[in-house]
Structure 1
Amino acid sequence: MATDMADTDSQAGSTRRRALGEFLRSVRARVTPASVGLPAGMRRRTPGLRREEVAQLCGISVTWYTWLEQGRDIAASPAVWARLATVLQLVRAERQYLFELAECADPEHGREPEAELPADLADCVHSIVAPAYILDRCWNVLARNEPLLQLFEGWPDRDARPNLLRYIFQDPAARDLVVDWEQRARRVVAEFRADAGAHADEPDVRALVDELRQASPVFTHWWTRQTVVEREGGLRQFRHSSGGIAGYRQITFRLATRPDCKLVMLLD
């Protein structure tokens, strides 16, 4: 069984590396020498840049770059992949695809988060009949609809800067509203650690974590446990002031146009 799993992983890795090599060859062929400051008058048998030119512009050896295009099993640093993305003039979707194939975190991803949510995404949230909201990488609430506002009995509108983590760990109303608050709080910390891992060194993420560690012993306790889990769906229960309990299925989507954000819906 273990051997079969290892063979499957090896085959998947080989397929991914071949796809990476094919992608590099394809985008290299479309980059003109003039666009990267090279003389345009030289006669070329094939369009685009030569391998040695890409290697020189990226500060790596020709042999090493050739191995990348051949799909060999070699490792590259995030900085090298970032230089390749720049030299090959990749657009955002292509850059994301490159780093996914390389199984590497983009050092530039999300470094300058957008302050406001595009209007069409906010409109999307308001068109959903179930409670729904959008969170950024710090779990700030960028958009919410009326059903969500009713479910949370006025939050997030009563906060000047609504943030789901601040609500859970600093607002006393959360302990009354969220059924099994202790269990949910533990999982929320592990989900946020997984969510913010690629941005752990960013000032906004560091500031939020520092604030929560100072304000909440519960957050600090679970944060120091280093537990990491994916944000998953499942049953979410809320207890209202009237005494009734409402149950919802949580579904989370990553937004293609804002990969630093996610849409959360609570379906009854």
Structure 2
Amino acid sequence: MRHPGTMTARRGELAAFLRAARERVRPADVGLPDLGRRRTPGLRRQEVAELAAVSVDWYVRLEQGRVGTPGSGVLDGIAAALLLSPAERVHLHLIARGEAPPQQHVPAPLGGSLRAVLDGMPLLPAYVVDFRFDILGRNAAAAALFGPKFGHGRLGNTARMLFLDPETRETNLDWAAFAAEMVGNLRVNQARHPDDAHLAELIAELRTASREFAAWWDDQHVHERSRGTKRIRHATAGTMTVAYDMLAALDGSDQRLFVLTPADEPAERALRTLVAAHATALASAG
């Protein structure tokens, strides 16, 4: 049984550690605009909560030491949002849960040439995923379209986003068709990488958490579509139709470059407006 005094001291240490970590991260470091006056340096509590995909109220109570024992996955989301080092992540788990975290999956590094391709397409939303659909990198246009949380924390895997994030499901107007393609792609990738434990964990998680995923998976759905069109509902830009292409890297890394292009003139105007607004916000933050 843990001594009450030890638990109180640990919660105080957790609160101090989170505040210090939050104050070290600049909004621009995580793709956020630096808007309005800030009473303290670094990120606001609301921004950390959004990046970690938790409620603002819960995060405030965590930082004040007023919650119970957080889950390991939630802590990893916070660690990613705060850009913690591996040693800092372990420390966070120890002071929040009293135990070391499970071994963390580290996605394969993004190749320098693909990074250059991403940055060389300022008007086209693009990102790179591996065979698990972990997001290895995304450009500023993708952040402008999908929001600054895209590619960070718990929103760092597009398969998990598609099936488990309500906002992603709501904004993809052709969700069922696109989600079914994702299941088929995952089955193909599992055949290519049958011994990858993290891919197996992802599939098991999605089968448990999503009835649609489980039904498509159990139907032995196999599909490897690399291009198509879809409609996206954006909070400020409205509905736009975009084409998507998934291009395979030829270096044997099994990485994919996913590029979105406007399918018509209204979509092109909307994307240009979003990208310009995002660039202005980042410039103001700098």
TM-score normalized by structure 1? 0.54
How far apart are 1:159 and its partner, in Å? 2.6
Work out the CA distance in 2 between the residues paired with 1:157 and 1:138.
14
How far apart are 1:261 and its partner, in Å? 0.6
After superposition, the Cα gap between the structure-2 partners of 1:204 and 1:157, relative to the gap in structure 1 and judged at 3 Å, is closer
- Aligned partners of 1:250 and 1:265 also within 8 Å: yes
Structure 1: 5+ residue stretches without partners: 1-112
Count residues with an aligned counterpart.
Answer: 157
After superposition, the Cα gap between the structure-2 partners of 1:204 and 1:158, relative to the gap in structure 1 and judged at 3 Å, is closer
Is 2:122 the partner of 1:122?
no
The aligned counterpart of 2:173 is 179
Aligned AA (1:124) = V
Aligned AA (1:217) = R
Equivalent residue in structure 2 for 1:249, among 243, 250, 258: 243
Work out the CA distance in 2 between the residues paired with 1:238 and 1:161.
17
How far apart are 1:235 and its partner, in Å? 1.0
How far apart are 1:150 and its partner, in Å? 1.5
Give secondary structure in 2 for the equivalent of 1:221.
helix
Is 2:157 the partner of 1:163?
yes
After superposition, the Cα gap between the structure-2 partners of 1:114 and 1:238, relative to the gap in structure 1 and judged at 3 Å, is closer
Structure 2: 5+ residue stretches without partners: 1-105, 263-286
Is 2:162 the partner of 1:133?
no
Give secondary structure in 2 for the equivalent of 1:124.
helix
Structure 1, residues 113-164: CA drift from partner, whole Å, max 9, x if none? Answer: 9731233322321211311110101000001011111211334145356000
Alignment of 1:216-227 (within 5 A): 216-227=210-221
- Aligned partners of 2:174 and 2:230 also within 8 Å: no
Is 2:222 the partner of 1:228?
yes
Is 2:142 the partner of 1:151?
no
Work out the CA distance in 2 between the residues paired with 1:241 and 1:182.
20
Aligned AA (2:222) = V
TM-score normalized by structure 2? 0.51
Alignment of 1:78-89 (within 5 A): none
Aligned AA (1:116) = P
- Aligned partners of 1:152 and 1:177 also within 8 Å: no
The aligned counterpart of 2:259 is 265
- The answer to which structure, 1 or 2, has the higher relative contact order (CA under 8 A, 6+ apart) is 2
How far apart are 1:180 and its partner, in Å? 2.0
Work out the CA distance in 2 between the residues paired with 1:220 and 1:146.
34
Give secondary structure in 2 for the equivalent of 1:123.
helix
How far apart are 1:231 and its partner, in Å? 2.1
- Aligned partners of 2:180 and 2:216 also within 8 Å: yes
Work out the CA distance in 2 between the residues paired with 1:158 and 1:138.
15
Identity %: 29
Structure 1, residues 164-204: CA drift from partner, whole Å, max 9, x if none? Answer: 00100111111221012122212221122123321133212
Work out the CA distance in 1 between the residues paired with 2:161 and 2:107.
22
Structure 1, residues 200-229: CA drift from partner, whole Å, max 9, x if none? Answer: 332121111111112222211111111111
Give secondary structure in 1 for the equivalent of 2:259.
strand
- Aligned partners of 1:140 and 1:161 also within 8 Å: no
- Aligned partners of 1:131 and 1:148 also within 8 Å: yes
Task: Point out the structure with max Rg over C-alpha.
Answer: 1
Work out the CA distance in 1 between the residues paired with 2:129 and 2:140.
16
- Aligned partners of 2:127 and 2:259 also within 8 Å: yes
Following TM superposition, the consecutive aligned residue runs of length 4 or more in structure 1 with deviations greater than 4 angstroms are none
How far apart are 1:256 and its partner, in Å? 1.2
